[in-house]
Structure 1
Amino acid sequence: MARFFNQDDIDEFRECFHLYARQKQVRSVDELATIMRSLRLSPTSTELRRYLKQKGGQLSFPDFLEVMHEHTEREKVPGDILRAFEQQDARGTGHISVKELRWLLTSWGDRLSKQEVDRVFREAKIPSSGTVKYEDFVKIMCAPLPDYN
């Protein structure tokens, strides 16, 4: 795992892991959630259960590093989206017009329908015209869904 993380990161992960892991193993979703959230990650309950199940119900520190690698790759998506917005922002304003954002969402990638875009805008409290701070939009759209389990 040293190829994925620098030594400072591994030391931080090790310290946090050993602070919360009982008997040098993580054996519950709650323990894993506490450790990962202490490290500023936002895994959902479903992801946590899957990580624990993949490792047979318990994680040693090397197993935990594998989980951290998998999850940090997953959480890079918001940064990638934000960089794409920044590259298109020639004036560096940090904003995109609502009209242009609507066009992007209905014309590129996994295209959304007009009704889906309306619902996204309504839930994200995006005005019907004007501009949107795209960093805030990315945060809202990429936030993990709450687990009510």
Structure 2
Amino acid sequence: MAVPAWRGYAVSLTVLFTLTGCVASTAPEVPTAAQAGETLKDHITRTLTKAQAKDVEVTDAGGKDIPCGDGKVKRTYAATGKESIGSPDSDILTLSLIGALDTVAEYDLTARNASDTSQEAVNKDLHLRIVLSSPARGQMLVKGETECLPAK
């Protein structure tokens, strides 16, 4: 006996919707601000190391919850360093920082506040925003913040 075509489609759609539901339920949990703040600190520190910055100095140690409203908070972190790659040119140092960040984690460059000496990068999955810049010849600055996230 032949099975009507609509039954085959119905079974296929049922399986598809069931699998889609399973995939949707495995979405990563949103980190707390403290967890994202530690990731931010790690990414900034590793970026400056990979860009071969010397005399690295933490200018914003972070670790403090900054209220955003709705019970959410964000964290910040920033560090500076001096060039050691042989070129004090700010454009080249900014490119060096972008390349270094790319080896640390996947970030997307945004057009927001972009210039030859300053670039913003965002990682939506990790809820992080980092600004890579060279504010003066021979100087590197990497600063970042988390999105507004749950405090606990």
TM-score calculated relative to the size of structure 1: 0.30
Task: Determine which structure has the larger strand proportion and give its number.
Answer: 2
Task: Determine which structure has the larger helix proportion and give its number.
Answer: 1
